[in-house]
Amino acid sequence: MKQLSGLLIALIAFSVSVQSCKNKDVDKVDTTLITITNPPVEKVLTADEQAALTPDVVINSLKDGNRRFVANEITARNHSALVRSASAGQFPKAVILSCLDSRIPVEDVFDKGIGDLFVGRVAGNFVNGDLLGSMEFGCKVSGAKLILVLGHESCGAIKAAIDDVQLGNITAMLANIKPAVVRSQDFTGDKTSKNDAFVELVAKNNILNTIESIKSRSPILKEMSEQGKIKIVGAYYDLHTGEVIFL
């Protein structure tokens, strides 16, 4: 009988000990959740907030956002609330001209949300009349403070231009990129699409060509740039790290 009583006491003590540990674990988890949880962004940029921005402030905002993206610390956003907020109007910070490549989710790369950016895409991130008109709308009409031409590592359009690909409408499209290949002929080494260093050089020269083309083909954007109302800059995206290198 004494042995049975002792066994019962031991079982009760064990049960209390386990329950105590469980409660401590629960408290620990709850504390952690409270520490890392922040209120999500629920409102888009307003007209007054956009007007107060400068081109340099926007550049720094994009750089900061990219650092968060690389560190996997992107901002929490309430997309349903942002959709409702944006329905009243849009006042983006910047116009981004990006390549068509699916591996570059532009808003995510800069940790931006609904209403923050105008994004135009075309394979090889070159500029034509339609894109120039879109940029003029974004900056002159809608108040964006920055145009960013975003190229990237291992660009298929750049490689196709280097290889002089002949295929349907792709051939005509690549004519817009060919000047960057010509601009890169001083490169010492293998000038083929298999040479990553040459592909990178052509991609960066293509970015520079696009910036020059924007300024030469759009008097509106050139004037805004000269007046300091906007900046037109370029950047290069590293597919391996997610980092955006401003040129």
21 labeled part of a ligand binding site: no
DSSP 39: P
Burial status of residue 54 (CB atoms within 10 A of its CB: 0-12, 13-18, 19 or more): middle
139 labeled part of a ligand binding site: no
DSSP 76: P
Phi, psi of 5 (to 5 degrees): -65, -40
Do 78 and 40 touch, CB atoms closer than 8 A? yes
Distance CA 198, CA 154 (A): 10
Residue 215: other Cβ atoms inside 10 A: 16
Residue-level pLDDT, tens digit, the chain, 247 residues: 444 444 444 444 444 444 444 444 444 444 434 333 467 888 999 999 999 999 999 999 999 999 999 999 999 999 999 999 999 999 999 999 999 999 999 999 999 999 999 999 999 999 999 999 999 999 999 999 999 999 999 999 999 999 999 999 999 999 999 999 999 999 999 999 999 999 999 999 999 999 999 999 999 999 999 999 999 999 999 999 999 999 9
Specify whether domain 47-246 bears CATH 3.90.550.10: no
Predicted local distance difference test score (pLDDT) of residue 189: 95
229 residue type, one letter = K
Joined together, the tokens standing for residue 54 give: 């400068």
Alpha carbon distances (Å) from 8 to 12, 13, 26, 29, 40: 6, 9, 27, 32, 52
Residue with tokens 């370029």: 234
Residue 109: other Cβ atoms inside 10 A: 24
Distance CA 168, CA 33 (A): 55
Do 14 and 52 touch, CB atoms closer than 8 A? no
Cα dihedral across residues 11, 17, 18, 19: positive or negative: positive
DSSP 40: P
The SS3 assignment for 231 reads: strand
Parse the chain into domains and list their residue ranges: 1-37, 47-246
56 labeled part of a ligand binding site: no
Distance CA 72, CA 143 (A): 30
Predicted local distance difference test score (pLDDT) of residue 39: 79
Distance CA 53, CA 223 (A): 18
pTM, two decimals, is: 0.84
Distance CA 199, CA 190 (A): 10
Predicted local distance difference test score (pLDDT) of residue 38: 66
Predicted local distance difference test score (pLDDT) of residue 243: 99
Residue 181: other Cβ atoms inside 10 A: 20
Separation of first and last alpha carbons in the chain: 85
